[in-house]
Structure 1
Amino acid sequence: MPEMPEVAGLASFLSARMAGKSITRVHVAGIQALKTYDPPPQALSGRTVAEVQRHGKWLDVATAPGIGDGTGNAVADRGELHLVFHLSRAGWVRWYEQAPATPPKPGKSPIALRVELSDGAAFDLTEAGTRKRLAVYVVRAPEEVPQVASLGPDPLGEEFTTAALAMILGERRHQVKGVLRDQSILAGIGNAYSDEILHVARISPFAISAKLDEDEVTRLYEAIRTVLTGAIEVASGKPAAQLKDAKRAGMRVHGRTGQNCPECADIVREVSFADSSLQYCATCQTGGKVLADRRMSKLLR
């Protein structure tokens, strides 16, 4: 699943290519992905893209005020419109310098939505697999998307300080990995980067947030900033097609079960859940204690 760094990379990539261009046509090929119907997707046609922004792990194609409903008719609402989407576990963006001549056929490909631009370029929102979770909204303001409205602070924002993190952690008696992944608490961190952050901070993923001491909170804050900033720098300027490989190549422990920890050379270990897993280093993070696979329902002692 794309997380903040990859979504930031996609926002930068798309904004550089779309800002100032007008949308000429929107094809909806996967109706299950579309979560709104008013305004309709066709209302984006004829509008100029102002910028592409990021809200946590959501992308927002913001269009300037304009008229037109895709059929040449005027519409009453001439304010901004936003194409807001979440790529979820298996979604991605496919960019074309020249739009394909054939429009996508509903139900015949992984393509859920295609947006064509005035310079002939286009992008698809695609989703692999059978579990369709890609979510697309056309709204007048991004806050009309409930999940965007409920996002917690951005961990790279100016308001996010060590004191703010200490308050967030102190108010919750939950495993720290779950706190980092909760989008209503912090926006943009998911499974992969929470593993990376906790490894850099040398904290167990099962540590209770409210029990972290001052030194651990400071280490965690610094790790959040360092890991996310570094990953965004790696993603910046890369074509959409290269972002996934860049993410995988930069991982220290996530997705590296059985390999050597880059810090201590111990084996990277894994804890499996029903539909996900986490990776960690026992030497660096748990004082050498091996965490039991959650399918065993308890920690090894």
Structure 2
Amino acid sequence: MPELPDLEIFSRNLEQQLSGKLLKEVIVKNGKKLNVSVKELKSAIEDQKLNQVFRAGKELYFGFENKAVLSIHMMLKGELHLSKQETVPKHAIIELLFKDGTQFCLTDFQGMAKATLNPAADETPDALAPEVDAGFFKKVFAAKKAAVKNVLLDQHVIRGIGNAYADEILWEAGISPFSAANKIPDDKLKDLCKAVRHVLENAVKQISKTHPDIISGEVRDFLKIHSAKKTNSPSGVPILIVKTGARKTYYTEEQEVFN
């Protein structure tokens, strides 16, 4: 699943490619993943100029001149396609056809990716929002007995962090992913806050440097801990892996457990 850094680059590239274009037609291949009727969607955004593409959490937002907004959530296996070909990719969910011939398409072979017209405002802060500081974590974690990694992954607590980056953040902060969130001391919450921003912002830089035109997929080769190809952390400590369901947690014994 693409996480915040991936989606940040996708949004920038789509903004560059699509901003200012007139949407000629929207084609819905899977209406079950819409929050409105196809007719209502067409009425809202067809023949409208796309003003901007931006990211919030794990979603991409397409803002049109008439103030209509279309959000896209790629879910686990969604992919984005941008071309001037008339051939529709397999497993299409929704297509945006622009007047100049540009075709944007969301696909998902699992059929789970979704599009939403004028989504409700989400008060949950983005992981890179200014208010996500040590005080934020202290307030949120105070009532959370769950493992800190699970809390970081909860999109109702903080938006944008997924499995891979949660592992990277907790390793950099020196906090075990199995620590109880409400037992983490204030000084470590400061470390966590710094790690969230540094890891995510650095990832955006790394992806932008090596894959400047990317609009789909995941780039993970620069990660320090969450990597099947690495056996030791940068400091030489063995990387341990615990599997819970379909999710794998990568960590080391350098990380302190708080319980």
The TM-score with structure 2 as length reference comes to: 0.90
1:265 to 2:204 alignment: no
How many residue pairs align between the two structures? 254
Measured in 1, the distance between the counterparts of 2:133 and 2:176 equals 22
| Contact 2:28/2:38 (8 A) holds in 1 | no
CA RMSD of aligned residues (A): 2.0
Return the match for 1:158 from 130, 147, 156.
130
1:114 to 2:95 alignment: yes
Kindly tell me: are residues 116 and 33 of structure 1, through their superposed partners in 2, closer, same or farther at Cα, counting changes over 3 Å? same
Map Cα deviations across residues 240-295 of structure 1 (whole Å, 9 max, x no partner). Answer: 25752xx21122111327x322322233221112222211112x2157xxxxxxxx
Query: 1:206 offset after TM fit, Å?
Result: 0.7
Map Cα deviations across residues 98-125 of structure 1 (whole Å, 9 max, x no partner). Answer: 1x22456xxxx22221111122212110
Return the match for 2:213 from 231, 239, 243.
239
The TM-score with structure 1 as length reference comes to: 0.78
Measured in 1, the distance between the counterparts of 2:155 and 2:134 equals 18
Deviates more, 1:205-214 or 1:159-168: 159-168
Return the match for 2:82 from 81, 95, 120.
95
Counterparts of residues 74-89 of structure 1 (less than 5 Å):
80-89=67-76
Name the residue aligned to 1:297: none
Q: Which runs of 5 or more structure 2 residues have no equivalent in the other structure?
A: none
1:19 to 2:27 alignment: no
Query: 1:238 offset after TM fit, Å?
Result: 2.0
Name the residue aligned to 2:177: 205
Counterparts of residues 17-96 of structure 1 (less than 5 Å):
17-37=17-37, 40-43=40-43, 44-65=45-66, 80-96=67-83
| Contact 2:242/2:250 (8 A) holds in 1 | yes
| Contact 1:52/1:59 (8 A) holds in 2 | yes
| Contact 1:33/1:135 (8 A) holds in 2 | yes
1:183 to 2:162 alignment: no
1:95 aligned counterpart, secondary structure = strand
1:126 to 2:107 alignment: yes
1:172 aligned counterpart, secondary structure = coil
Deviates more, 1:86-95 or 1:150-159: 150-159
Measured in 2, the distance between the counterparts of 1:270 and 1:103 equals 40
| Contact 1:270/1:280 (8 A) holds in 2 | yes
2:139 aligned counterpart, secondary structure = helix
Kindly tell me: are residues 35 and 242 of structure 1, through their superposed partners in 2, closer, same or farther at Cα, counting changes over 3 Å? closer
State the identity as a percent.
26
| Contact 1:87/1:135 (8 A) holds in 2 | yes
Runs (4+) of structure 1 exceeding 4 A deviation are none
**Which structure's relative contact order is higher, taking Cα pairs within 8 Å and 6+ residues apart?**
2
Return the match for 2:190 from 188, 201, 218.
218
Q: Which runs of 5 or more structure 1 residues have no equivalent in the other structure?
A: 66-79, 144-148, 288-301
Larger Rg: 1
Measured in 2, the distance between the counterparts of 1:14 and 1:53 equals 9
